[in-house]
Amino acid sequence: MRKLPAMLFAAIMTAAVSPGFSQQAGGMRPAYQGGVMPSSQSALVTDGRTVTAQADMLTLYNAMTMLYLDTGRLPSNSEGLNALLTPPPTVKNWRGPYLVVTSWRNPLIDIWGQPCRYFNTSTPARQGTFCIKSNGPDMLPDTADDLAIGQCGWIVPAGAKKRAPTGQKSVGFK
């Protein structure tokens, strides 16, 4: 059994038992304020799928953290989430697979049938940071309903001008 550093263990356990969170200027806040469930049937289905997607992304996040602890590095953007299933050619100490693909569920595909997206956001000053995104219910990338976990404030969309980091520091859902 692997021993995790106390702070990392606490962060994983906090994320594992927490509801969906939204990164706000005032810090982490629960995504569902007031605790009132939507009244329409379609809203419940959409909400249920969003909760499932958040749980799946947390599983991906934790698996990627385990890969990082084992190998000492994160996969490149080109290696992506597939590194959780098969070892990249130059990786040592890979102890996976870190996820299980079943005949009925591929963990790299979100609840809406779209592949989850991985970004290695590490820099020389910020090692070990990454972001995992789901396109969300509209199944389109980079829209308001996308779900994200990790250090996603450092991602610059293709074609956009480089901007200063947003300062997103906590693991949470957008």
Three-class DSSP labels, 66-130 = HHHHHHCCCCCCCCHHHHHCCCCCCCCCCCCCCCCCCCCCCCCECCCCCECEEEECCECCECCCE
Question: What pLDDT is attached to residue 46?
Answer: 61
Average pLDDT over residues 139-146: 89
Domains of the chain, CATH where assigned? 41-174 (3.30.700.10)
Residues in a beta bridge with 148 = 133
Q: What are the Cα distances from residue 35, in Å, to 48, 55, 71?
A: 14, 19, 41
Judge whether residue 152 has pLDDT over 90. no
Q: If pLDDT is split at 50, 70 and 90, which confidence band does 132 have?
A: very high
| Closest C-alpha to 91, from 117, 73, 109 | 73
* Portion of the chain with pLDDT greater than 70, in percent: 61
Distance CA 135, CA 124 (A): 28
Distance CA 107, CA 53 (A): 10
Distance CA 108, CA 100 (A): 10
Q: Confirm if 122 and 130 have CB atoms less than 8 A apart.
A: yes
Average pLDDT over residues 105-127: 91
- Comparison of pLDDT for 136 and 11, the residue scoring more: 136
Average pLDDT over residues 7-21: 43
**Helix, strand, or coil (residue 153):** helix
Mean of all residue pLDDT scores within the chain: 73
Distance CA 130, CA 128 (A): 7
Q: Confirm if 139 and 125 have CB atoms less than 8 A apart.
A: no
Average pLDDT over residues 98-126: 91
Cα dihedral 72, 77, 83, 86 in deg (nearest 10) = -130
> With a threshold of 0.75, does the pTM exceed it?
no
Question: What pLDDT is attached to residue 28?
Answer: 36
